[in-house]
Chains A and B, each alone.
Chain A
Amino acid sequence: MTARERKPLWRPTVADEVERELAFHLEMATRDLMERGMAEKQARAEAERRFGNVASVDTDCRRYAEERDQHRRRAEYRDELLQDIAFAWRQLVKTPTFAAITILTLALGIGATAAVFSILDAVALRPFPFEHPDRVTVVYPTDKGTPRSPSVPEFLALRGVRAFEQVAATVLQAGATLRIANGAPETVGAGRVTASYFDVFGVAPALGRSFTAAEDMPGAASVAVISDRLWRSHFNSEPSVIGRVVSLDGRPATIIGIMPRSFDITRESEDLWVPLALPPEAATRYSEHYIQVFARIRDGVTVAQAQAAATAAERALAEHIPDRDQPTASLGVVLHRYVDDFVGDYRTLLLILLGAVSLVLLIACTNVANLLLARGTARAKELAIRAALGAGRARLVRQLLTESMALALVGSVLGLALAFGLVKLVVAVSPTSVPRIEQAGVDWRVLLFTLGVGVASSIVFGLLPALRAAAGLTTVLREGGRGSRLGRDRLGGLLVTAEVALAITLLVGCGLLIRSALLIGHVDPGFDSRGVLTARLVLPEARYPDGASINRLYARVRESAARIPGVQATALTLLPPLSGDQMTSSVSAEGAPGNRSTLSSSLNLVSDGYFDAMHIRLLIGRDIDRHDVASSPNVVVLNQALARKLWPTRDLREALGRRINAMSFTKGEPHLMTVVGVVANLHNAALDQPPAPEFYAPVTQTPEKLWPITQRSMVVVLRAANREVDPDAFVRPLRDVIARTDPSLPIAEARSMESFRKSSLETARMNAILLSILGGIALVLAMSGIYGVVSYFVSQRIHEIGIRLALGATPGRVWGFVVRRGLVPILVGGAFGFALSIVATSVLQGQLYAVSTHDPATLSAVAATLFAVALMAMYLPARRAMRVPPIVALNDE
């Protein structure tokens, strides 16, 4: 028996029900007693005595009765819902084309949204797997507000700041040569860190232990903590690896711990960590700014308070520096939240992407709403009959919404499958520096989000058509089942307007980002990346203790590499452009008064022939040549930007022959170099950033103190005679050359210059690819939406069009009639869209390169594209209208 059938014709309220029943009982009992000869009054009293406390029984009964009714209402609702679902299912199966189109449209929108959410969630929303991640900060000392890398004395001073719970110094992203058993030596990413490093993050090794303070001392036995990634790739996830001895930079080191998988923050983060083991003498190396400092703020201390305390420590330290030549007031410390430093930019980027997919989803919803509206009109008769048979209006709206929900849920399931694929695509095209992106997947959070989005969108697209259908009920039967046509036309037009507005907003955003990606792609980097291979070598200190031995090795490698067939030129450099690494030094012109002329510049060490090999233009003077050796006077080549900054005159010749002071390691003991040439600017940091000042010193004249900092590491540059040759072909011969020179040396990293250029474009490329896809989807959806509305319009007016044609209207006029009808909502939507895009694209400001948010080229391209698409969408229905045979006018519908 179903709940509905059980519903009785007469049913008292709960209070009434209980009262009547108890009264009936008492009456019956009184009667029985009277029959046994009791007087009525006595009988009544006796019945009541036997019954007990009527009021309390009454209360209990009422409570149960109310609960009973509540259960029944729920059961009834459930039954109706099941009926609705069954009905919705039958409806969908009955109209498979409609169902397929709707579900696919929704799957596209929901799937894309779920995919972007999944990535945003993995990268930015999920808390970092640290203890109180918001208290982990990166510490930068500042001079006149400009942040720079800290020095060891600064680290030691910061360690005394009470606002910090833990402070760690690190040299991250250093290479180390790892050799397991008798395998081939290879270079892995290594971090040299103080023992406190893991405590700053509050992360303990998953297996084993981290460094003790004693192990973080010079001369202690070598130990290493390895990453989960290295453990998997090189040790087969063997727990027995703890205690194993491997060769690290030619010395034995014991593996003591394995970090948890969650500590592999990016795909390029460290493979292993070794103690930094600061030597005592480093405590006075005031001008060597090469470490990175992380600090955990104490509980209850704000970032501002910690920053103030650190600034005080920084200034107190500066007071004690011998030969201090700067007022300490200009010094300070800034703390960046580690999480912000790491994901800040990507979070913005992903939020923008999420905004873009949300627009796509909204467009998809609008489309589906339109389809439902058209179907609602077709089903008007059925609904009217159901209403006539006693279904309430609310009941019908509920039923229609159930159908929408069913569509959305099926769409969500399909969308999830799509999201799987899309996540893979996004991960594949994303830069390797995006933290945690490979952790993105479809988990329960994404599942919940998708279901939420599905249900929300079913209301967005389902409610309007459902209300509309219910509202039109009374008129339908009168109109012979044709439905209220005019209302639908207006609503359809409104939906197209909304759709076009959304599409324009999205397309303008996509267009701007794509255009700026294209512009970045065409930036002249200032060098020729094609046909150039770079290979970094890291020399162990044990075998190469001083500059002379280092230079000898590199000279020999270069000499043999030059003989590799197909190699036209060879050179050495400390830092190839766009490699992401930079070293800076303060620079001042000799004789310039005070500190005003001290500025910060990128520094690079290069061999002779470097500018030639990279095709960097020499503007004036001479190249570094082989006569610039350790024993000859120090020389330097500046880039144009630095020359201009040092001597702001027009003529670059002014610079030649002058001397600059840079790379000085001891205060009061300048390291002077004579400027012999000026080269053209090149984009050393990133293609979308303007070239920064840079100077090039001969590698042979490297200050001895710089070698340990750079790990005695240089990059060998090979240029192919033919620029079209894939330089990766040189990797093997170069390996052979190096093996012949010193078999214990690995190539740290061999990469073509072109790959550096490409990875500098990665973010822009990801933007361009993803936004092209989204823009394309939006266009297709907009086109099908417009097509739907216009062709519906034509099919509804076919009678009228037939009459017009019969009365002598030319096909041209009919075309005009239809297109005008379709164009009005498109033009209105377009106007709204451009207005909306002005507001919406303001969030893109920081993401654009060389393009303003009102870029006329982009705006007009978007307008033209949309207009063309709209015309294409209208073409078929309009053509159908022109060819309506006049006989149609005579046929009744």
Chain B
Amino acid sequence: MPKDTLHGTLDALVLKTLTFGPRHGYAIVRWISQQTADALQVEEGSLYPALYRMERDGWIDAEWGTSELGRKAKYYHITEKGRRQLRAETKEFATFVKVVSPLLLPS
């Protein structure tokens, strides 16, 4: 997989996760692994820079709230711009899969 598509995939996964409601960083990791039955482990070290980058670019926004354990946590939610980005990346991913699968997958 080309690097930027991988990169884009993490973004898309995070954005997708947030479409189901605001979450803090750890919850995003957990949600993704749950949804994929632990098959997909998000690299935690690259998640946070990705979150901050997307926040800078206005795809997601954050607020400080209180977590389930009574601790202050940063909750992310998706913005309108983020939704547009997600749509674009989903489409790109679909194209990628369509182009690559005949090559890599046995017919």
A57 touches B45 (CB 8 A): yes
Could you say which of A17, A28, A32, A51 contacts B74, with CB atoms under 8 Å apart? A17
List 14 additional A-B contacts (Cβ < 8 Å) besides A25-B44, A60-B49, A61-B49. A6-B61, A18-B48, A21-B25, A21-B74, A25-B48, A29-B26, A31-B69, A56-B45, A61-B48, A64-B49, A64-B55, A64-B56, A65-B52, A68-B55
Nearest-neighbour CB distance to chain A for B91, whole angstroms, equals 26
A8 touches B49 (CB 8 A): no
CB of B71 closer than 8 Å to a CB of A: yes
Could you say which of B30, B49, B58, B64 contacts A57, with CB atoms under 8 Å apart? B49
In Å, the complex CA distance between A21 and B52 comes to 11
Which A227-249 residues sit within 8 Å CB-CB of chain B? none
CB of A647 closer than 8 Å to a CB of B: no
CB of B5 closer than 8 Å to a CB of A: no
**A51 (CB) vs chain B CBs: closest residue:** B44
B48 touches A22 (CB 8 A): yes
**B53 (CB) vs chain A CBs: closest residue:** A64
Nearest-neighbour CB distance to chain B for A669, whole angstroms, equals 94
Chain A residue numbers with a CB within 8 Å of B64 are 8, 10-12
CB of A27 closer than 8 Å to a CB of B: yes
Which B6-39 residues sit within 8 Å CB-CB of chain A? 24-26, 30
Chain B residue numbers with a CB within 8 Å of A31 are 69
**A53 (CB) vs chain B CBs: closest residue:** B45
CB of A300 closer than 8 Å to a CB of B: no
Fill in one digit per residue for A1-33: 1 if any B CB lies within 8 Å of its CB, else 0. Answer: 000001010111000011011101101110110
CB of B3 closer than 8 Å to a CB of A: no
* Given A65-B56, A68-B56, A52 contacting B43 (CB threshold 8 A): yes
Chain B residue numbers with a CB within 8 Å of A20 are 72, 74
CB of A36 closer than 8 Å to a CB of B: no
Q: Which 7 pairs, one residue from A and one from B, show the smallest C-beta to C-beta distance?
A: A52-B45, A64-B52, A68-B56, A60-B49, A28-B26, A61-B52, A51-B44
* Residues of A in contact with B (beta carbons under 8 Å apart): 6, 8, 10-12, 17-18, 20-22, 24-25, 27-29, 31-32, 50-53, 56-57, 60-61, 64-65, 67-68, 71
In Å, the complex CA distance between A17 and B51 comes to 13
Interface residues on B, range: 20 to 34
Chain B residue numbers with a CB within 8 Å of A32 are 30
In Å, the complex CA distance between A68 and B58 comes to 8
Chain A residue numbers with a CB within 8 Å of B26 are 24-25, 28-29
In Å, the complex CA distance between A53 and B69 comes to 26
Chain B residue numbers with a CB within 8 Å of A22 are 48
Pick from A6, A24, A27, A56 the residue with the most CB of B within 10 Å: A24
Nearest-neighbour CB distance to chain B for A374, whole angstroms, equals 45
In Å, the complex CA distance between A835 and B74 comes to 69
Could you say which of B24, B44, B53 contacts A24, with CB atoms under 8 Å apart? B24
Q: List 30 A-B contacts (CB under 8 A).
A: A6-B61, A10-B64, A11-B64, A18-B48, A20-B72, A21-B74, A22-B48, A24-B25, A24-B26, A24-B67, A24-B71, A24-B72, A24-B73, A25-B26, A50-B44, A51-B45, A52-B45, A53-B45, A56-B45, A57-B45, A57-B46, A60-B48, A60-B49, A61-B51, A64-B49, A64-B53, A68-B52, A68-B55, A68-B56, A71-B58
Nearest-neighbour CB distance to chain B for A472, whole angstroms, equals 41
**B30 (CB) vs chain A CBs: closest residue:** A32
**A59 (CB) vs chain B CBs: closest residue:** B49
CB of B92 closer than 8 Å to a CB of A: no
* Given A29-B26, A68-B56, A21 contacting B63 (CB threshold 8 A): no
Chain B residue numbers with a CB within 8 Å of A68 are 52, 55-56
B56 touches A8 (CB 8 A): no
Instruction: Count A-B pairs with CB separation below 8 Å.
Output: 68
In Å, the complex CA distance between A18 and B44 comes to 14
Specify the main secondary structure of chain A where it touches its partner. Answer: helix
Could you say which of A6, A28, A29, A57 contacts B48, with CB atoms under 8 Å apart? A57
Nearest-neighbour CB distance to chain B for A61, whole angstroms, equals 4
Chain A residue numbers with a CB within 8 Å of B44 are 25, 29, 50-52
* Given A24-B67, A24-B73, A25-B26, A71 contacting B56 (CB threshold 8 A): yes
Nearest-neighbour CB distance to chain A for B56, whole angstroms, equals 4
A27 touches B71 (CB 8 A): yes
In Å, the complex CA distance between A1 and B20 comes to 21
Chain A residue numbers with a CB within 8 Å of B43 are 52
Chain A residue numbers with a CB within 8 Å of B48 are 18, 21-22, 25, 57, 60-61
**A27 (CB) vs chain B CBs: closest residue:** B71
In Å, the complex CA distance between A6 and B61 comes to 10
Chain B residue numbers with a CB within 8 Å of A71 are 56, 58
Pick from B24, B53, B61, B69 the residue with the most CB of A within 10 Å: B53
A60 touches B25 (CB 8 A): no
Chain B residue numbers with a CB within 8 Å of A24 are 24-26, 67, 71-74
**A31 (CB) vs chain B CBs: closest residue:** B69
Chain A residue numbers with a CB within 8 Å of B63 are 8
Chain A residue numbers with a CB within 8 Å of B25 are 21, 24-25
**A50 (CB) vs chain B CBs: closest residue:** B44
Chain A residue numbers with a CB within 8 Å of B46 are 57
Chain B residue numbers with a CB within 8 Å of A50 are 44
Nearest-neighbour CB distance to chain B for A57, whole angstroms, equals 5
In Å, the complex CA distance between A27 and B63 comes to 19
In Å, the complex CA distance between A29 and B42 comes to 13
In Å, the complex CA distance between A64 and B44 comes to 17
Nearest-neighbour CB distance to chain A for B64, whole angstroms, equals 6
In Å, the complex CA distance between A51 and B42 comes to 10
Nearest-neighbour CB distance to chain B for A35, whole angstroms, equals 12
Nearest-neighbour CB distance to chain A for B79, whole angstroms, equals 9
**B26 (CB) vs chain A CBs: closest residue:** A28
Pick from B52, B64, B72 the residue with the most CB of A within 10 Å: B52
A60 touches B67 (CB 8 A): no
Nearest-neighbour CB distance to chain A for B93, whole angstroms, equals 24
In Å, the complex CA distance between A50 and B44 comes to 7
Fill in one digit per residue for B53-93: 1 if any A CB lies within 8 Å of its CB, else 0. Answer: 10110100101100101011110000000000000000000
In Å, the complex CA distance between A31 and B71 comes to 13
B56 touches A67 (CB 8 A): yes
Chain A residue numbers with a CB within 8 Å of B73 are 21, 24
**B44 (CB) vs chain A CBs: closest residue:** A51
Nearest-neighbour CB distance to chain A for B90, whole angstroms, equals 24
**A63 (CB) vs chain B CBs: closest residue:** B52
In Å, the complex CA distance between A109 and B71 comes to 64
Nearest-neighbour CB distance to chain B for A833, whole angstroms, equals 58
Chain A residue numbers with a CB within 8 Å of B45 are 51-53, 56-57
Chain B residue numbers with a CB within 8 Å of A11 are 64
**B67 (CB) vs chain A CBs: closest residue:** A24
In Å, the complex CA distance between A24 and B25 comes to 9
Chain B residue numbers with a CB within 8 Å of A17 are 74
Pick from B45, B61, B69 the residue with the most CB of A within 10 Å: B45
**A12 (CB) vs chain B CBs: closest residue:** B64
In Å, the complex CA distance between A25 and B47 comes to 11
In Å, the complex CA distance between A50 and B64 comes to 25
In Å, the complex CA distance between A12 and B64 comes to 9
Chain B residue numbers with a CB within 8 Å of A6 are 61
Chain B residue numbers with a CB within 8 Å of A67 are 56
Chain A residue numbers with a CB within 8 Å of B53 are 64
Nearest-neighbour CB distance to chain B for A58, whole angstroms, equals 8
Nearest-neighbour CB distance to chain B for A311, whole angstroms, equals 71
In Å, the complex CA distance between A24 and B45 comes to 14
In Å, the complex CA distance between A17 and B53 comes to 14
In Å, the complex CA distance between A55 and B44 comes to 13
Chain B residue numbers with a CB within 8 Å of A61 are 48-49, 51-52
Pick from B26, B51, B69, B73 the residue with the most CB of A within 10 Å: B26
In Å, the complex CA distance between A64 and B46 comes to 13
In Å, the complex CA distance between A53 and B52 comes to 17
**B28 (CB) vs chain A CBs: closest residue:** A25
**B24 (CB) vs chain A CBs: closest residue:** A24
Pick from A28, A31, A50 the residue with the most CB of B within 10 Å: A28
Chain A residue numbers with a CB within 8 Å of B30 are 32
In Å, the complex CA distance between A12 and B62 comes to 13
Nearest-neighbour CB distance to chain A for B47, whole angstroms, equals 9
